Amino acid sequence: MGVCNGFQILCEAGLLPGVLLKNNHQKFNCKNVFLRKAGTQDIISRHIPDEPLKIPVAHGEGRYYADKKTLDKMIANGQILFQYCSEAGIISEAANPNGAVHDIAGICNEQGNVFGMMPHPERACSEALGNTDGQTILKALTFNI
């Protein structure tokens, strides 16, 4: 699993398809965003409820990009795990904090054993900080260990 810079490294190493580019607005993002699972059959998403999760982002180069051929293949293979959405769960350009293609927040490789995401679930695990939604994602990973 690679989060934020870890996601970038996994893409640059060729372990995940695509690339992370500068945010479309050319500014650093540091805020809570919402995302929801994109699939139901992959090893992570099947353990996550069908509701928006509030997860923080903190990046200047978080805009996921893949060409149309790669993106079509990823969609067909169920490799898109998370997409940015509104608090109500609506996937839209307005809810996308960085301009990522197809509103992608997290993906996996074809085999489903390498996972990357731009938002930080580890920063949303504390009741004292008022957000525990990240625990949902991290616990979903432990089902597969």
Active-site residues: which are they?
Answer: 4, 120, 122
d(CA 114, CA 127): 29
Q: Which residues contact 145 (CB under 8 A, 6 or more apart)?
A: none
d(CA 63, CA 42): 23
Nearest to 79 by CA among 48, 55, 131, 114: 114
Q: Which residues contact 39 (CB under 8 A, 6 or more apart)?
A: 45, 78, 80, 81
Element (H, E) at 117: strand 115-117
Looking at the DSSP bridge assignments, the partners of residue 82 are 37, 106
